[in-house]
Amino acid sequence: MVNKLKIDVVTIFPDYVVMPLAQSLIGKAGQSGLVEITANDLRDFTSDAHRTVDDTPYGGGAGMVMMPTVWGDAIDSISNATSAAVHELIILTPAGELFSQSMAQELSLSEHLIFACGRYEGIDQRVTDHYRTRPEFRVREVSIGNYVLNGGEAAALVMIEAIVRLVPGVIGNPESLAEESHSIAADAQDEVLLEYPIYTKPSKWRGLSVPAILTSGNHGLIATWRREQAISRTEQIRPKTRE
C-alpha cells in the first residue's frame, strides 16, 4: 500500500462528522483504501460516571474549559493505536494559525492526522504545550477563518475535505490538481491569484453572451485573456493580497 493516510477526529459530537465524511469524494477515498477516517468520542476517554470533559477556568471568566486529563488520555490512546512515526496533532481553535492551501498540501503527505475539536471556551493550553515536547508529535493550533464557531467540528470537516482531495490517487483528474499547484507556492506567500470566470452552453442566456474570445479558437489569446481576468478579479476582490 502506498502513502496511506489515517485520520482521527476527536470530538464530543462524533455524529456531527460521521455522515459528511461518508459522502462524496471523501467517502470514495475511504473505500479505495487510500484514506481511513475514524470519528472518536472524547467522552469514551473520561473516567467518571458523568463522563465530564470540562471545568471552570482558573482565573475566572465566562464559560467552561476542556480538561487536559481527558484530552491527554484520548490522544495517547489514539496515537498508540497507529504505527505512524509522526502524528500531526491539529488543535482547532479560532486563536490558531490560518488554514491555507499550502498547509493542506503539506498535511496531505502525512501518515496520521489527529483533529482535536474543542468546544466551550477551548482546550486547556497544556495539551498543546505537552504534545509539543513529544518528538513523535507535530502540533499545530489552526483556525479556518476570522469568525467564531461553537466548536472545531465544522472546521475539521473543511480541513479534511481540502486535505483528502490532495492525497495522491484520490482525485480522478490530476490535471486539475496540477493547475491548482501553481497557486500553492503563491498562497504560501499570501499572493494567490483568484480563478478566471468560466462559461458553458448555451452561448447566450437571458441576454448575456459568453465572451467572444472564448469561442474564437485562438488558445494563445484565450490564455492571455484568462490571466488578465484573474488579475483584475483579484485586484477587485482581494485588493490587499496583491498590494
Among 39, 114, 155, 157, binds ligand 6GU (CB under 6 A): 155
Provide the pairing of β-strand 54-55 with 65-66: antiparallel
Smaller CB separation from ligand 6GU, 72 or 94: 94
Least spacing, CB of residue 155 vs ligand 6GU, in Å: 3
CB of 153 to ligand 6GU, least distance (A): 9
Contacts of 214 (CB under 8 A, 6+ apart): 199, 222, 225
**237, three cell numbers:** 476582490
Binding of ligand 6GU by 128 (CB under 6 A)? no
In angstroms, rounded to a whole number, what is the distance separating the alpha carbons of residues 6 and 113?
6
Among 1, 2, 49, 148, binds ligand 6GU (CB under 6 A): 148
Q: How far is Cα 61 from Cα 150, in angstroms, rounded to an integer?
A: 17
Alpha-carbon distance of 183 to 197, in angstroms, equals 16
Closest CA to 151 of 128, 116, 124, 118: 118
- Residue 243 CB, nearest approach to ligand 6GU (Å): 26
Report, in angstroms and rounded to the nearest whole number, the Rg of the chain calculated over CA atoms: 22
Residue 121: helix, strand or coil by DSSP? coil
Q: How far is the CB of 94 from ligand 6GU (least distance, A)?
A: 4
145 binds ligand 6GU (CB under 6 A): yes
Contact positions with ligand 6GU (CB under 6 A) in 54-113: 92-94
Quick one: 153 or 170, whose CB is closer to ligand 6GU?
Answer: 153
Which of 20, 27, 68, 151 binds ligand 6GU (CB under 6 A)? It is 151
Q: Which residues bind ligand 6GU (CB under 6 A)?
A: 92-94, 143-145, 147-149, 151-152, 155
